[in-house]
A and B are shown apart, each in its own frame.
Chain A
Amino acid sequence: MKKKIKITLNGKSMSLEIPAHRLLLDLLRDEIGLTGTKEGCGTGDCGACTVLLNGRPVNSCLILSGELDGADIVTIEGLKIGPEFHPVQKAFIQDGGAQCGYCTPGMLMMSKALLDENLNPTEEEIRFALSGNLCRCTGYAKIIQAVQDAARELRAGRANRG
């Protein structure tokens, strides 16, 4: 069964006609061609496919496209602020938060979701927020460091704006 939906994807509105059972992950990757969102398990266990749905982090492999009419979706392709890296991207580059990079888009979206809510997370809060995003390369130390550094930069940015 095909369904017509209107969504906002990375700030742009689009109309789509798609099978209602199509998963958001497959919609993004196969139909729209945005492969930055990764598939690691397809069963909601690894977090590689994390995107922001109406501002909240979700596993896009668990979301049916048919439910998305009116939704606002942000993927890794929408994380940059204009030509500039988002502070959390900058921190991942600086601190070595990405190795193979396959978990990185999901990790970044989850980090952004955390920092959108809490600009001053403790180390334990960061660990807890990222505990559904699996990484096999880094041992998480540099990722946690990067989120802390991004938080610091975002706080400084906010202070500067007064």
Chain B
Amino acid sequence: MEQLTIVGKPVTRVDAGEKVTGETVYGYDLVLPNMLYGKVLFSPKPHARIKRINIEKAEQYPGVVAVITGKDAPWIHGESIKDKPFLAQDKVRCVGEPVAAVAAVDEDTAQAAVRLIEVEYEDLPAYFSPEEACKPGAVAIHENFAGYRKFDFIVPGSMPNVCEHFKLRTGDVEQGFREADLVLEERYSVPVIQHAAMEPHSAHAQVDPESGRITIWVANDAPFRALHEISEALELPKEKIRFINPAQGGGFGSKGGLKVEPIAVALAYHTNGRPVRVKFNREETFISTLTRHEAVVNIKSGVKKDGTLVARQMTIYWGAGAYAEKSPTVCIRGSLPAPGPYRIPHVKVDGYAVYTNKPVAGSFRGYGIPQGAWACEQHMDELANRLGIDRLEFRMRNIFVDGDLSYWGEKLHSVGLKETLTKAAEAIEWGQKDEQFKGSRVEGLKGTNIKRGKGFACISKPTRSPTTSAAGVVVNGKGEVKVLAGTVEIGQGCSTILSQVAAEELKVPLEKVRMAPLDTDVIPFDASTTSSRSTYHMGNAVRRAAIDVREKIMEMARPMLEAKKEDLSFSDGKVYLKDQPQMALSIGEVVRRKLGNEGDVRGDGSYTYEIGKDLDLETGHSDHASAFYMYATQAAEVAVDEETGRVRILRMSAAHDVGKAINPLNCAAQIEGGLAMGIGSALHEEMVIDNQGKVRNPSFLDYHIVTSLDVPKMIPIVVECPEPEGPYGAKGLGEPGLAPTPAAIGNAVADAIGIRIYDLPLNPERVYWVIQQKKKKKVA
């Protein structure tokens, strides 16, 4: 294989220069000529019928251009189930659901008019947990569920409010439990949390009154999917809709789908061609965008004395919130690998996505993996402890290796799990419990109240499959390279990775490459910037497009060098004669000679991962469920203050199998960022929703994301177990950084205090009371 010149190098980000000067224009910064300002009236009720809306006073308020309600926007959208109105229709299903909207000459005016809208509600019974909402006799949150348009693979449950029931059936779990020497059953739970990207949500929309064409400016991480969803909802041809992506200030799954977009579009139909900007402030972003699924995970396992796993049964209730959004696929792709990356002959999983009257849950970095891992990986430690086997050794006996047939029926390859386990454990000196770790920021924690412990957790994660990415690569007469790719730079570094790929194939310096801005009118199709799929899918597409343009340029060079095709070669950004390497033309020169200074040549490439059989709806089996799998192990050392319940992380390692690190610096950055987010979700993040469905902590003061004081010493470790189909062997990395984190910390805490904690977060209050209860039991 030809030596790589720039792939694999820790080059700095191509977008860093404009980001450190404040030049980057984000969705929240965007100002359009002649634009109006939109504000929204949100539901104060968790579940209620709308009896009457009076917008008269709002309409008469000076400076108001339009006031709209559900009647003015009679459209329904939804990715897998069309269940969500642009603005509430007849009823509301959660606090924070948009009910009416105003467009006005400025934001203050719009907000003042919103306050003048009067709504009369009639309360309906509301449900705030998935288990409660699917009990027999529960009132339907979506009365017309059967009538909704849905994806073919949706399997509604027989219980109330279940919008998807995922089933995995392998072997016979009952027989497995009979064969086992030890059977253990536990129940774990994970609360609602939020992405909390630093840029709040916003969207700008404009409808051309003559052509009916809609333009939407929004930091959406899946513009082509959003376009499709708008097109289906409005029954408008796709050619009439255009998405333009300004820069995006983080996403983590929150900025796909449609949230502010429908409101902006609905308003734009009433402003006679003037663009409308709708910005959610932080509180509105908390209550009316997306959350991560709360989950209740019941897990039961049978294991032999020698540590061989025999059977595992899991029942998982995913809290979908008021609308389905991505719940069906989170339920499927989160439930499928929930039993963990282990060889288990008998497996039964039932995953239920259940509507509740809470804010809508959607995609969140990790897509269901963290919830399953929180249960499975702590459960694995409990099993090991009861068997008296070292926890690492217990994993090693059961863990997936190359060639294993997974319990969902797929033969696995490129499995770097063992190496991640070994390296992550080594990095925190596994097995050396009593050594005081000297590199800690909080070293010197001593005293009888301080208990120290270690733990780890491992995961495998599939990616959304099958999907397609397409790309263009353009070379101009100056030898400059432009990459057209629909992958959205959400901070993950894709613009750098994709530039490296193009630079590698054309052998030009990275400075010669730039990314074209993202506009669905001109950029080739891409499925989405989600599911850690971009490096693999778009990386392959850009690579193919770069090779395509290179071939075209070589063909153009043939007459210039008076050579046959087979006599030409390419290296160092130049086409040359094999036997006379001094006869060389740079790619820019070739283009210039043929097409002049202003000319350019474009290559195209696309990549689709074809899966084998679709998931079988009865067994959950597939011979190719995912284009690739991501494997990771994280290990933590903690100190727990038994007097206060405070958990401090002394150090944490994170070993991730990335296939091939196209940019090791960026890999470390992704791992550290994911780890920090995982630490937040482990120790303090929770959206507190009261028994009226109201979010009690919709601010950064009360919803505590990690600060610079909270993060411990982090040890990112890159493991490279190449994926043959991936570009240069690459897999994906965006999501797994936070997936095993809470379980690793939970295991370390249990190791420290000798008590298992089943619910997140591990905040001082919870840990303190768990310790107190144990003390009470001892006394009794």
Binding site for B on A (CB under 8 A): 29, 33-43, 45-46, 48, 75-77, 79-80, 85, 89, 92-94, 96, 98-105, 108, 123-124, 126-128, 130-144
Residue of B nearest to A94 (CB): B12
Query: Cβ of B17: which chain A residues have Cβ within 8 Å of it?
Result: 85, 93
Contact between chains at B20 and A136 (CB < 8 Å): no
Complex alpha-carbon distance, A26 and B315, angstroms: 50
Contact between chains at B709 and A96 (CB < 8 Å): no
Complex alpha-carbon distance, A143 and B16, angstroms: 13
Contact between chains at B701 and A38 (CB < 8 Å): no
Residue of B nearest to A90 (CB): B20
Contact between chains at A99 and B29 (CB < 8 Å): no
Contact between chains at B491 and A100 (CB < 8 Å): yes
Query: Cβ of A40: which chain B residues have Cβ within 8 Å of it?
Result: 198-200, 282, 700
Pick from A42, A45, A108: contact of B20, CB below 8 A. A108
Contact between chains at A35 and B673 (CB < 8 Å): no
Among the interface residues A33, A98, A128, A143, which one has the most CB atoms of the partner chain B within 10 A?
A98
Contact between chains at B16 and A93 (CB < 8 Å): yes
Contact between chains at A136 and B708 (CB < 8 Å): no
Complex alpha-carbon distance, A43 and B29, angstroms: 18
Complex alpha-carbon distance, A94 and B12, angstroms: 6
Contact between chains at A35 and B20 (CB < 8 Å): no
Contact between chains at A46 and B198 (CB < 8 Å): yes
Complex alpha-carbon distance, A45 and B252, angstroms: 20
Taking A79-B21, A99-B493, A104-B19 as known contacts, 7 extra A-B pairs with beta carbons closer than 8 A to each other, sorted by chain A number, are A33-B31, A85-B21, A100-B249, A100-B491, A101-B247, A128-B708, A139-B706
Query: Cβ of A105: which chain B residues have Cβ within 8 Å of it?
Result: 22
Contact between chains at A136 and B250 (CB < 8 Å): yes
CB distance from A93 to the nearest CB of B (A): 4
B352 CB-CB contact with A under 8 Å: no
Stretch from B517-525, B664-672, B766-774 at the A interface: B664-672
Contact between chains at B282 and A38 (CB < 8 Å): no
Known: A89-B21, A131-B707, A138-B673. A100 touches B13 (CB 8 A): no
CB distance from A62 to the nearest CB of B (A): 13
Would you list 9 pairs from A and B whose C-beta atoms are within 8 A, ordered by A residue? A38-B28, A41-B700, A76-B21, A77-B22, A96-B12, A100-B249, A102-B491, A134-B198, A134-B705
Query: Cβ of A137: which chain B residues have Cβ within 8 Å of it?
Result: 198, 250, 491, 673
Residue of B nearest to A43 (CB): B699
Among the interface residues B19, B252, B676, B705, which one has the most CB atoms of the partner chain A within 10 A?
B19
Contact between chains at A96 and B199 (CB < 8 Å): no
Complex alpha-carbon distance, A104 and B13, angstroms: 14
Contact between chains at B20 and A104 (CB < 8 Å): yes
Per-position 1/0 for B653-681, Cβ under 8 A of A? 00000000000011011001111110000
Count contacts on B: residues with CB < 8 A to the other chain: 55
B281 CB-CB contact with A under 8 Å: yes
B23 CB-CB contact with A under 8 Å: yes
Within 8 A of A (CB), among B231-255: 247-252
Contact between chains at B705 and A136 (CB < 8 Å): yes
B437 CB-CB contact with A under 8 Å: no
B25 CB-CB contact with A under 8 Å: yes
Query: Cβ of B709: which chain A residues have Cβ within 8 Å of it?
Result: 127-128, 131
Contact between chains at A96 and B666 (CB < 8 Å): yes
Query: Cβ of A130: which chain B residues have Cβ within 8 Å of it?
Result: 707-708
Pick from B196, B198, B200: contact of A100, CB below 8 A. B198
Complex alpha-carbon distance, A48 and B281, angstroms: 14
Contact between chains at A43 and B22 (CB < 8 Å): no
User: Mostly helix, strand, loop or mixed at chain B's interface?
Assistant: loop
Pick from B29, B490, B676: contact of A140, CB below 8 A. B676
CB distance from B532 to the nearest CB of A (A): 15
Contact between chains at B701 and A45 (CB < 8 Å): yes
Query: Cβ of A77: which chain B residues have Cβ within 8 Å of it?
Result: 21-22
CB distance from A115 to the nearest CB of B (A): 15
User: Mostly helix, strand, loop or mixed at chain A's interface?
Assistant: loop
Complex alpha-carbon distance, A133 and B699, angstroms: 14
B465 CB-CB contact with A under 8 Å: no
Per-position 1/0 for B302-337, Cβ under 8 A of A? 000000000000000000000000000000000000
Pick from B25, B282, B492, B711: contact of A99, CB below 8 A. B492
Known: A43-B701, A100-B249. A85 touches B20 (CB 8 A): yes
CB distance from A37 to the nearest CB of B (A): 7
B441 CB-CB contact with A under 8 Å: yes
Known: A38-B28, A43-B282, A134-B700. A139 touches B23 (CB 8 A): no
Contact between chains at A89 and B676 (CB < 8 Å): no
Contact between chains at A36 and B22 (CB < 8 Å): yes
Complex alpha-carbon distance, A77 and B20, angstroms: 9
B24 CB-CB contact with A under 8 Å: yes
Contact between chains at B669 and A101 (CB < 8 Å): no
Contact between chains at A93 and B22 (CB < 8 Å): no
Contact between chains at B22 and A35 (CB < 8 Å): yes
Q: Give the 3 A-B CB pairs with smallest separation, nearest first.
A: A36-B22, A100-B491, A102-B249
Residue of B nearest to A76 (CB): B22
Contact between chains at B699 and A38 (CB < 8 Å): no
Query: Cβ of A43: which chain B residues have Cβ within 8 Å of it?
Result: 282, 699-701
Complex alpha-carbon distance, A115 and B376, angstroms: 46
Complex alpha-carbon distance, A130 and B710, angstroms: 11
B714 CB-CB contact with A under 8 Å: yes
CB distance from A14 to the nearest CB of B (A): 18
Contact between chains at B441 and A124 (CB < 8 Å): yes
Contact between chains at B16 and A98 (CB < 8 Å): yes
B26 CB-CB contact with A under 8 Å: yes
Within 8 A of A (CB), among B481-512: 490-493
Complex alpha-carbon distance, A118 and B153, angstroms: 60
Complex alpha-carbon distance, A49 and B21, angstroms: 14
B445 CB-CB contact with A under 8 Å: no
Query: Cβ of B15: which chain A residues have Cβ within 8 Å of it?
Result: 98, 101
Complex alpha-carbon distance, A136 and B491, angstroms: 10
Among the interface residues A93, A100, A105, A131, which one has the most CB atoms of the partner chain B within 10 A?
A100
CB distance from A89 to the nearest CB of B (A): 4
Contact between chains at A144 and B708 (CB < 8 Å): yes
Complex alpha-carbon distance, A158 and B714, angstroms: 32
CB distance from B761 to the nearest CB of A (A): 17
Pick from A33, A124, A139: contact of B673, CB below 8 A. A139
Contact between chains at B711 and A139 (CB < 8 Å): yes
Residue of B nearest to A37 (CB): B22
Query: Cβ of A101: which chain B residues have Cβ within 8 Å of it?
Result: 15, 19-20, 24, 247, 249, 491
Query: Cβ of A102: which chain B residues have Cβ within 8 Å of it?
Result: 26, 197-199, 249-250, 491
Complex alpha-carbon distance, A26 and B221, angstroms: 27
Complex alpha-carbon distance, A46 and B281, angstroms: 13
Residue of A nearest to B22 (CB): A36
Contact between chains at A38 and B676 (CB < 8 Å): no
Complex alpha-carbon distance, A57 and B282, angstroms: 22
Complex alpha-carbon distance, A76 and B29, angstroms: 15
Within 8 A of A (CB), among B18-44: 19-26, 28-29, 31
Query: Cβ of B250: which chain A residues have Cβ within 8 Å of it?
Result: 99-100, 102, 136-137
CB distance from A44 to the nearest CB of B (A): 8
CB distance from A57 to the nearest CB of B (A): 14
Contact between chains at A96 and B665 (CB < 8 Å): yes
CB distance from A27 to the nearest CB of B (A): 14
Query: Cβ of A98: which chain B residues have Cβ within 8 Å of it?
Result: 13, 15-16, 19-20
Complex alpha-carbon distance, A85 and B707, angstroms: 26
CB distance from A160 to the nearest CB of B (A): 23
Complex alpha-carbon distance, A34 and B29, angstroms: 9
Contact between chains at A100 and B248 (CB < 8 Å): yes
Complex alpha-carbon distance, A33 and B492, angstroms: 28
Pick from B29, B665, B706: contact of A35, CB below 8 A. B29
Contact between chains at B699 and A99 (CB < 8 Å): no
Complex alpha-carbon distance, A138 and B679, angstroms: 13
Pick from A38, A76, A79, A89: contact of B249, CB below 8 A. A38
Query: Cβ of A93: which chain B residues have Cβ within 8 Å of it?
Result: 12-13, 16-17, 20
Query: Cβ of B665: which chain A residues have Cβ within 8 Å of it?
Result: 96
CB distance from A108 to the nearest CB of B (A): 6
Pick from A36, A75, A94, A131: contact of B708, CB below 8 A. A131
Residue of B nearest to A45 (CB): B700
